[in-house]
Amino acid sequence: MKPEGEPIHQESKEVGVSGGISILELILRIIAIIGTLGSAVAMGTTDQTLPFSTQALIFQAQYDDIPTFRFFVIANAVVCGYLAISLPMAIYHIIRTGAAKTRALLILLDTAMLAVLTAGASSAAAIVYLAHKGNASANWLAICQQYNNFCKRITGSLIGSFGAVFVFVLLVPLSGLVLCRLR
Amino acid sequence: MKPEGEPIHQESKEVGVSGGISILELILRIIAIIGTLGSAVAMGTTDQTLPFSTQALIFQAQYDDIPTFRFFVIANAVVCGYLAISLPMAIYHIIRTGAAKTRALLILLDTAMLAVLTAGASSAAAIVYLAHKGNASANWLAICQQYNNFCKRITGSLIGSFGAVFVFVLLVPLSGLVLCRLR
């Protein structure tokens, strides 16, 4: 229930809160760009050759030996590109806090990107887990004893991606909150 | 731009569209319940004992040999439970198409559940892919030649889960759309 008096003051306060949320959204998007870009680059440049490799026999682990990691890099790159494109829209929302249609559009796109990024991050996490622990039942051995640096690198590259997933889980409801307040 | 004339008629039309979307949301939620429940049950009951097993040596594949599949079952069960709890809220939105706060809350919860379900489905998919194809670089052999029925079952159980992910990707923007129209 809104108080009867001072409707203009009330409204400017509403705009202030929505503006604050819009600025927070912009910052979150920039954080997510850094996270996804870092993950894509960290995974995409992962490559380890074991010291006992010879000219005839090369023991080498590369990220694209495993298709899931290729998907991880692509998903992160796509989401990073989307986030960069969405920045002008986020800035527009700071200036025009009352814009509802573009916010609803952002909810749609953010939700789709959340699904893509979570799929990439989780499937890679499943393989990383397997690389660390192996699985006795399926007779899949842990490869991290041999490829130690490779494993550290791929494990680290998950962090940025899951951080960006968390940012998206915040971004979508924040847009919903602003739409709810606009009413 | 709304036309100047017939504001009441215009409003009732708006309510009609929002009501239609609310009914669609209820149907989508019921579909997602069926999908996640089916996936959880199909995966959770997967168990294959090979015919050449002896009393001393049992060749058996169960879903909980692989931790990722256990996570898949838990994620599907949690999301299924959440969806069942959210049904009364969805019915409330059909009756009260103007409710904004509960819709914003649903956007928050749906987004979180989308992330959980996508994580479960994708990580399981990564392992299922590995079970089918194996990976020569990591020396992980495909296990589907031996455990054929097991593999068919776990592959099939992914369908319901990914279907529910798709439903969530529709549900969240639909709530956003209704909030946008309420303005």
Contact list, A107 vs chain B (CB under 8 Å): 107, 172-173, 176
Q: Which B residues in the span 15-74 are in contact with A, Cβ-Cβ below 8 Å?
A: 61-62, 65-68
Locate A54 and state its tokens.
Answer: 């010879």
Residue of B nearest to A63 (CA): B137
Q: Three-class SS of residue A48?
A: strand
CB contact under 8 A, B129 and A68: yes
CB contact under 8 A, B122 and A123: yes
Give the model confidence (pLDDT) of A129-163 as tens digits: 999 998 888 888 888 888 888 888 899 999 999 99
Residue of B nearest to A141 (CA): B140
Q: Which residues pair with B49 in a beta bridge?
A: B60
CB contact under 8 A, A125 and B120: no
Which of A106, A140, A181 to mutate to probe the B interface, most B CBs <10 Å? A140
Q: Three-class SS of residue A138?
A: coil
Query: DSSP of B7-74, one letter per residue?
Result: HHHHHHHHHHHHHHHHHHHHHHHHHHHHHHHHHHHHHHT-EEE-TT--SSS--EEEGGGSHHHHHHHH
- Chain A interface includes B87 (CB < 8 A): no
Locate B53 and state its tokens.
Answer: 């097993």
Query: DSSP of A52-106, one letter per residue?
Result: T--SS---EEEGGGSHHHHHHHHHHHHHHHHHHHHHHHHHHHHH-TT--HHHHHH
Q: Which B residues in the span 89-148 are in contact with A, Cβ-Cβ below 8 Å?
A: 100-101, 103-104, 107-108, 111-112, 114-115, 118-127, 129-131, 135, 137-141, 143
Q: What is the pTM of this model?
A: 0.88
Shortest distance between the Cα of B5 and any Cα of chain A, in A, equals: 22
CB contact under 8 A, B123 and A120: no
C-beta of residue B90 within 8 angstroms of C-beta of residue B32: no
- Counting other chains too, the contacts that A148-157 makes at CB distance below 8 Å and 24 or more residues apart are A149/A48, A150/A46, A150/A47, A150/A48, A150/A61, A153/A42, A153/A43, A153/A46, A153/A48, A154/A43, A154/A46, A154/A63, A154/A69, A154/A124, A154/A128, A155/A128, A156/A42, A157/A38, A157/A39, A157/A42, A157/A43, A157/A46, A157/A72, A157/A124
Q: Which of B67, B111, B183 sits opposite A114 (nearest CB)?
A: B111
Give the model confidence (pLDDT) of B9-54 as tens digits: 666 666 678 888 999 999 999 999 999 999 999 998 888 777 766 6
CB contact under 8 A, B111 and A173: yes
Q: Report the residue count for chain B.
A: 183
CB contact under 8 A, A140 and B137: no
HSE (CB half, 13 Å, CA atoms) of A176? Answer: 30
Locate B1 and state its tokens.
Answer: 């731009």
C-beta of residue A53 within 8 angstroms of C-beta of residue A60: yes
Shortest distance between the Cα of B148 and any Cα of chain A, in A, equals: 13
pLDDT tens digits, chain A, 183 residues: what are they?
A: 445 545 556 666 666 788 889 999 999 999 999 999 999 999 988 887 777 666 666 677 788 888 999 999 999 999 999 999 999 999 999 998 888 889 999 999 999 999 999 999 999 999 999 999 988 888 888 888 888 888 888 999 999 999 999 999 999 999 999 988 887
